[in-house]
A and B are shown apart, each in its own frame.
Chain A
């Protein structure tokens, strides 16, 4: 939910609270911190583009005497800004309007070229920010109070914060709900009593009837006719508030229904009364084969499980989800019927899933709204419609009105303290709950009735959460659990652990491959792609894919192993182990991998095994052979014990190249006192070098006395694209030049 701060301030006084601060700023909590720590996550903050910057450099503009060219650090980046203020100077803290900002006076900041110099943003004066009537130069902020890059909070430049929607808090999908909670957090009273008065005139009542088929799904339906309205565009303030929330302004009637939905959380709908056949609104299940052309532009085929709002002839809306095109309010509409209703959350949710349409209305209903919220919302909307579109209202008609009374919850302060690990003051607890509109009585043992719009509160644990989040989770002191004796892995878990150690010690490299495959026994009902539609029945197919991929860039020989689940049928899941040796001829297996590996690879005689060639599996892949053996983990022989120790040195992760690398070989002759490592370190520094492998080091009479030969496989890359041949050659030439310069090497042909 996007919350405009200017709008929020209609309901709560935020005082001088900053919208957001940088996390390094310890001077106090901002509004964003308060919401994050006491309510819900703030997913994004847009403060209207005013940030605090520091002038790093000021030079005279080359083509204009009165202008300066400034380099301004705004935290994320350093901007070049042309500034006309005579007082601008190095090291000042200033307010920068970023590109895209609209200043209070309406000036929009764009990237510009001023007398031949680029200017990205604007350094503001007090007058431009409308903080004073006039000003002689730019506004300079005092030292120590601001940090570079922090948002500069200005009353008239609106800030928008986006709150994470929690599935149990539909009240956070409304300004009043957010303001109420914020009031409790800030210890301030929110002004929640919005104006709901409206003029009443002679307008014919509309009847409402809930069909027997829909009694259970409609706790409450209210309808109110308003006559003599003049449909037209909404005023600018209303339009801009809707746009902030991501809604498109339509006309004053529709806009008011959306506005009141955002304000109160209760979705509303307006029908053109002239398009209602008969004098009755009927809420019923859809009929077999019924469909509705919705305001979203789609035609929705309905089933007898879906709820519709209908007249005596046709469906006019899918309840709680979307209104129909035909009965919608348009230019020329004279009389409307406002709907404010409560629909069963599960029914709305199932229908949205079936027709594939989620709307601002449905996301509220599916979180379960209170039937008691409908009346205030319909009155509020009528107030605004009368104000903006004229007209007079008739009487509210109502059907349903069956809902459970909120139950009282017994809460013992002692129980809350035990669960939270926090000493609580009974009065404080009561004050918090009252600030959140709970009804509370008692002292140590409280009787608590949650407000009607907090259907999520059903027990003591829910109360504990309310109290804790308002007090602050940071107030709970960490307590260590009682010490008990260490636990051990089960025999099966230890077996897998030991297997992994043994294989790694024998030179195998562990890989994991995907659980889904193109073939298998168990099929997914909703696969992401056809080649991953089944649960794998072996590890082999995934590992072969891996061998092919790895052989494209990593030169065999290498050994791989994977341990993971395979799915033979839904009740038979087995842990498999697979060993693979890539890049050898059978006769020199022993020489390449050592006798231990040969033993491992041949010991599982009964297991599936195969030997294949990589020929034809892709470019750059030589005709290597690979050998695979797959068996059940339970069948793995007891291996020699011995822990595998990964290298202890600090790991500095190097991202993989996103694009193919260019491969080169380089053989050099160098003084034999120079260590290969020194050479590698020099090559590493050169831009564009990705991989370096020393594959040969040789000293002999053919090289010359006091000299040796070093041979490298080198890989070059570009972070954002594939290197061209010329670029790769350039990097290679740079490598040679550096080595010639540093080590006086001679390149061998």
Chain B
């Protein structure tokens, strides 16, 4: 029998580390938070009130159990509640990234997962502008996909940012591929963080790590990540 000499890290871990290294270097702390969340942190405080049609953007796994104050509990659909939790405890300037596992009530196929990883970033300070957001996203994409990679921002809508954008990345062959959402933190969200929107502004961005890894390596099926087939994971270490 052959002797085993070297192990491997999962591609999600490897790409997450690559991203973390970039942002730690730029002074961003890594913020983490609970995966079982309340409706308030996952939605309400992020300017996604009950009965708002924007709630359709996040199909949600709800828990049978209620929280200690009788509040509805759910599996977080994004790591944005971490931003709220962090900002309520820390004064600006704030620079954080919040990588972590998120959940969507969604039938699984080769491009949709119900249990996956997200990576978000948040910066709040005086005089933060769309220009800062653009430079940050640009650096992120260039680090991961190569210095020559082009990006563009398109107008979009997210309840927690205003203005909001989608980020496209140019693929070889010239097609644009959507890779992230971002925008300037909505004044109501700043207020919910206990901050004065007249004094502070900020930007936030987020994307699925799985999707990004798929784009980076041309992976055909998102289910490979949680199936953790060794023929798959061994290709990356």
A residues in contact (CB < 8 Å) with B: 22-24, 36-41, 166-169, 345-346, 349-350, 363, 366-367, 418-422, 459-462, 464-465, 468-469, 473-474, 476-481, 483-490, 493, 497, 500, 503-516, 522-528, 535, 546, 549-550, 553-554, 557-559, 561, 564-565, 567, 570-571, 573, 591-594, 644, 646-647, 651, 653-656, 691, 695
Q: How far is the CB of B155 from chain A (nearest CB, A)?
A: 4
Contact for B35 among A508, A509, A565, CB less than 8 A: A565
Q: Provide the bound-state CA to CA distance between A564 and B23, in Å.
A: 23
Contact for B64 among A367, A460, A524, CB less than 8 A: A524
Report chain B residues within 8 Å CB of A462.
162
User: Which residue of chain A is the closest to B217 with respect to CB atoms?
Assistant: A653
The reply to whether A41 and B154 form a contact with Cβ atoms under 8 Å apart is yes
The reply to whether B220 and A655 form a contact with Cβ atoms under 8 Å apart is yes
The reply to whether A504 and B231 form a contact with Cβ atoms under 8 Å apart is no
Known: A507-B5, A526-B61, A550-B229. A167 touches B154 (CB 8 A): no
The reply to whether B131 and A557 form a contact with Cβ atoms under 8 Å apart is no
The reply to whether B24 and A489 form a contact with Cβ atoms under 8 Å apart is yes
The reply to whether B65 and A522 form a contact with Cβ atoms under 8 Å apart is yes
Known: A481-B135, A515-B101. A419 touches B229 (CB 8 A): no
Known: A515-B35, A525-B62. A509 touches B8 (CB 8 A): yes
The reply to whether A570 and B229 form a contact with Cβ atoms under 8 Å apart is no
Known: A23-B175, A489-B24. A512 touches B10 (CB 8 A): yes
Q: How far is the CB of A284 from chain B (nearest CB, A)?
A: 21
Apart from A512-B226, A644-B237, 6 more pairs, CB < 8 Å: A476-B129, A487-B30, A646-B8, A654-B235, A656-B224, A656-B231
The reply to whether B162 and A36 form a contact with Cβ atoms under 8 Å apart is no
Q: How far is the CB of A283 from chain B (nearest CB, A)?
A: 20
Report chain A residues within 8 Å CB of B87.
none
The reply to whether B163 and A468 form a contact with Cβ atoms under 8 Å apart is yes
Contact for A523 among B57, B65, B233, CB less than 8 A: B65
User: Which residue of chain A is the closest to B24 with respect to CB atoms?
Assistant: A487
Report chain A residues within 8 Å CB of B27.
483-487
Q: How far is the CB of A701 from chain B (nearest CB, A)?
A: 24
User: Which residue of chain A is the closest to B138 with respect to CB atoms?
Assistant: A478
Q: Which of B200-233 contact A (CB under 8 A)?
A: 201, 217-221, 224-233
User: Which residue of chain B is the closest to A367 with respect to CB atoms?
Assistant: B53
The reply to whether B174 and A349 form a contact with Cβ atoms under 8 Å apart is no
The reply to whether B152 and A474 form a contact with Cβ atoms under 8 Å apart is yes
- Interface code B1-34, partner A: CB below 8 Å = 1, 0 otherwise? 1111111111011100100100111111110101
Report chain B residues within 8 Å CB of A695.
2
The reply to whether B187 and A504 form a contact with Cβ atoms under 8 Å apart is no
Q: How far is the CB of B183 from chain A (nearest CB, A)?
A: 9
Report chain A residues within 8 Å CB of B34.
573
Contact for A646 among B2, B9, B131, B217, CB less than 8 A: B9
Contact for B7 among A464, A490, A508, CB less than 8 A: A508
The reply to whether A546 and B123 form a contact with Cβ atoms under 8 Å apart is no
Q: Provide the bound-state CA to CA distance between A363 and B53, in Å.
A: 9
The reply to whether A479 and B132 form a contact with Cβ atoms under 8 Å apart is yes
The reply to whether B105 and A37 form a contact with Cβ atoms under 8 Å apart is no
The reply to whether A37 and B131 form a contact with Cβ atoms under 8 Å apart is no
Report chain A residues within 8 Å CB of B107.
528
Contact for B24 among A488, A526, A570, CB less than 8 A: A488
Known: A167-B56, A419-B130, A647-B237. A515 touches B123 (CB 8 A): no
The reply to whether A168 and B8 form a contact with Cβ atoms under 8 Å apart is no
Report chain B residues within 8 Å CB of A515.
35, 75, 101, 103, 115
Jot down 22 A-B pairs with beta carbons below 8 A, ordered by A.
Answer: A40-B156, A41-B178, A167-B54, A167-B57, A421-B130, A421-B132, A459-B187, A464-B162, A464-B163, A476-B130, A480-B135, A481-B132, A487-B23, A505-B7, A506-B7, A511-B10, A546-B228, A549-B229, A567-B36, A570-B63, A573-B34, A651-B236
Contact for B13 among A419, A508, A510, A535, CB less than 8 A: A510
Report chain B residues within 8 Å CB of A655.
219-221
Contact for B62 among A22, A38, A524, A653, CB less than 8 A: A524
Interface status of B42 (Cβ within 8 A of chain A) = no
Report chain A residues within 8 Å CB of B165.
473
Report chain A residues within 8 Å CB of B186.
461
Q: How far is the CB of A30 from chain B (nearest CB, A)?
A: 13
Q: How far is the CB of B170 from chain A (nearest CB, A)?
A: 8
Known: A506-B7, A515-B101. A418 touches B201 (CB 8 A): yes
Report chain B residues within 8 Å CB of A507.
4-7
- Interface code B149-160, partner A: CB below 8 Å = 1, 0 otherwise? 000111111010
Known: A487-B27, A509-B230. A479 touches B4 (CB 8 A): no
Q: Provide the bound-state CA to CA distance between A366 and B32, in Å.
A: 34
Known: A167-B56, A480-B135. A656 touches B232 (CB 8 A): yes
The reply to whether A526 and B51 form a contact with Cβ atoms under 8 Å apart is no
- Interface code B30-68, partner A: CB below 8 Å = 1, 0 otherwise? 101011100000000000001111101100011111011
Q: Provide the bound-state CA to CA distance between A40 and B115, in Å.
A: 28
Report chain A residues within 8 Å CB of B57.
167
The reply to whether A469 and B155 form a contact with Cβ atoms under 8 Å apart is yes
Interface status of B114 (Cβ within 8 A of chain A) = yes
Q: How far is the CB of A252 from chain B (nearest CB, A)?
A: 32
Q: How far is the CB of B61 from chain A (nearest CB, A)?
A: 5
Q: Provide the bound-state CA to CA distance between A526 and B236, in Å.
A: 35
Closest 7 CB pairs of A and B: A421-B131, A421-B129, A465-B163, A511-B228, A478-B135, A479-B131, A346-B51
Interface status of B148 (Cβ within 8 A of chain A) = no
The reply to whether B4 and A646 form a contact with Cβ atoms under 8 Å apart is no
Report chain A residues within 8 Å CB of B108.
528
The reply to whether A167 and B7 form a contact with Cβ atoms under 8 Å apart is no
Known: A350-B51, A469-B155, A524-B61. A486 touches B24 (CB 8 A): yes
User: Which residue of chain B is the closest to A25 with respect to CB atoms?
Assistant: B174
- Interface code B140-152, partner A: CB below 8 Å = 1, 0 otherwise? 0000000000001
The reply to whether A473 and B155 form a contact with Cβ atoms under 8 Å apart is yes
The reply to whether A553 and B231 form a contact with Cβ atoms under 8 Å apart is yes
The reply to whether B217 and A651 form a contact with Cβ atoms under 8 Å apart is yes
The reply to whether B131 and A554 form a contact with Cβ atoms under 8 Å apart is no
Q: How far is the CB of A546 from chain B (nearest CB, A)?
A: 6
Interface status of B109 (Cβ within 8 A of chain A) = no
Q: Provide the bound-state CA to CA distance between A513 and B123, in Å.
A: 32
Interface status of B84 (Cβ within 8 A of chain A) = no
The reply to whether A525 and B63 form a contact with Cβ atoms under 8 Å apart is yes
Interface status of B193 (Cβ within 8 A of chain A) = no
Name, among A166, A418, A505, A559, the residue most crowded by chain B CB atoms within 10 Å (CB to CB). A166
The reply to whether A559 and B3 form a contact with Cβ atoms under 8 Å apart is no
Report chain A residues within 8 Å CB of B103.
515
Interface status of B134 (Cβ within 8 A of chain A) = yes
Report chain B residues within 8 Å CB of A506.
7
User: Which residue of chain A is the closest to B131 with respect to CB atoms?
Assistant: A421
The reply to whether A504 and B154 form a contact with Cβ atoms under 8 Å apart is no
Q: Provide the bound-state CA to CA distance between A573 and B32, in Å.
A: 13
Q: Provide the bound-state CA to CA distance between A744 and B6, in Å.
A: 35
Report chain A residues within 8 Å CB of B230.
509, 511, 550, 554, 558
User: Which residue of chain A is the closest to B190 with respect to CB atoms?
Assistant: A461
User: Which residue of chain B is the closest to A480 with respect to CB atoms?
Assistant: B135
Q: How far is the CB of A24 from chain B (nearest CB, A)?
A: 4
Interface status of B234 (Cβ within 8 A of chain A) = yes
The reply to whether A516 and B217 form a contact with Cβ atoms under 8 Å apart is no
The reply to whether B229 and A656 form a contact with Cβ atoms under 8 Å apart is yes
Q: Provide the bound-state CA to CA distance between A510 and B7, in Å.
A: 8
Q: Provide the bound-state CA to CA distance between A677 and B179, in Å.
A: 39
Interface status of B82 (Cβ within 8 A of chain A) = no
The reply to whether B68 and A524 form a contact with Cβ atoms under 8 Å apart is no
Name, among B20, B127, B229, the residue most crowded by chain A CB atoms within 10 Å (CB to CB). B229
The reply to whether A653 and B235 form a contact with Cβ atoms under 8 Å apart is yes
Q: How far is the CB of A184 from chain B (nearest CB, A)?
A: 12
Q: How far is the CB of B119 from chain A (nearest CB, A)?
A: 15
Q: Provide the bound-state CA to CA distance between A653 and B236, in Å.
A: 8
Contact for B176 among A23, A468, A497, A546, CB less than 8 A: A23
Report chain A residues within 8 Å CB of B233.
509-511
Interface status of B95 (Cβ within 8 A of chain A) = yes
